[in-house]
Amino acid sequence: MAVYTEVPDEDLKAFLAGYDAGTLLSFKGIAEGVENTNYIVHTDRGSYILTLYEKRVDPGDLPFFLDLMAHLSAKGMTCPVPLRDRDGHALGMLCERPAALISFLEGVWVRKPNVEHCRALGDTMAAMHKAALDFSGTRRNALSVGDWRPIFASVADRADTLQAGLADEMERELTYLEANWPQDLPAGIIHADLFPDNVFFINSRLSGLIDFYFACRDALAYDVAVCLNAWCFEPDLSFNVTKARALLTAYAGRRALSQAEYDALPLLARGAAMRFFVTRLYDWLNHPPGAFVRPKDPLEYAKRIRFHRSVTNTREYGLD
């Protein structure tokens, strides 16, 4: 459960008093998410999401995230919007944590995405990329190719406890990615974490995007690569070409991919899989006993890396 910080009733009431958000009726911790503490808050004015930002989030990045959500909403994208308090601030402090009150977004995330879900995601992701082109904020991707090795190195001596030979295999993979990582691809603001639990649907209609706390400025096609990993593998970790084709075709229908981006997709997907492998491996091997949040299996992403390593061109992702 993603509640690392317990919020006493009286503290929350005092925090809400700074907003024009109504009187507290109830609040409850939200199970989804692994980075921050989240509550759904009900007042006599409506429902909100309260987020307390935990240790992994750099407080200096928070204005970027909050301003980005406001910018995208103003451009017509459906995403949560931070409320400003009576002094005009979108960020406050609660229980010694930076905290924000954010509008509630209707919808649910789908546990088993189908082809139509993938098509809707591709279209909406491209729309988000275009809507953010004139966003003035900037933040480097703190989990890009140059950041994976230090994370892996901190736990490499224990990697083989999950699978024999894993440490040497991933050491070689990191070396290859570092030497061949694509440069000078079209760049802009990306979400960088568009997993199914960050995309809401109402029935089959995509109703909005949430959780922009990895957003940064990077290659736009890298966001596509993250989604190929997150949406196009089945529970048995077989790759679903039909889902990939729907996602990529819908994306390109709204924002055309350059030939360089198409050519780079297999390597970008391989790197995106590495990004989630190393963070999952770190969390798996440093999981504190009794913690509410159960770490995710890093071997699922090791298998994705091996698949992408075998891909020679984008035809294997379902494109002609």
For residue 140, give the DSSP letter. B
For residue 122, the SS3 value is helix
Tell me how far apart the alpha carbons of residues 26 and 24 are, in angstroms, rounded to a whole number.
Answer: 6
Each domain of the chain, given as residue ranges in start order, spans 9-103, 115-317
Question: Which amino acid, one-letter code, is at 55?
Answer: K
Distances (CA, A) of 305 to 75, 177, 299: 36, 11, 10
Percent residues over pLDDT 90 in the chain = 88
Residue 33 above 70 pLDDT?
no
pLDDT tens digits for range 281-291: 999 999 876 65
pLDDT tens digits for range 130-152: 999 999 999 999 999 999 999 99
pLDDT tens digits for range 239-255: 999 999 999 999 999 99
Architecture of domain 115-317: Alpha-Beta Complex (3.90)
pLDDT tens digits for range 89-108: 999 999 999 999 999 999 99
pLDDT of amino acid 293: 66
Q: Which CATH class is domain 9-103?
A: alpha beta
Instruction: Indicate left, alpha or beta for 86 from its phi (over 0: left) and psi (-120 to 50: alpha).
Output: alpha
Residue 320 above 90 pLDDT?
no
Please, which residues have CB within 8 angstroms of residue 237's CB and are 6 or more apart in sequence? 300, 303, 304, 307
pLDDT of amino acid 97: 93
* Residue 42 · residue 27 · CB < 8 Å: yes
The pTM score is 0.92
Residue 1 above 90 pLDDT?
no
The string of DSSP letters for 263-277 reads HHHHHHHHHHHHHHH
pLDDT of amino acid 46: 94
pLDDT tens digits for range 196-222: 999 999 988 999 999 999 999 999 999
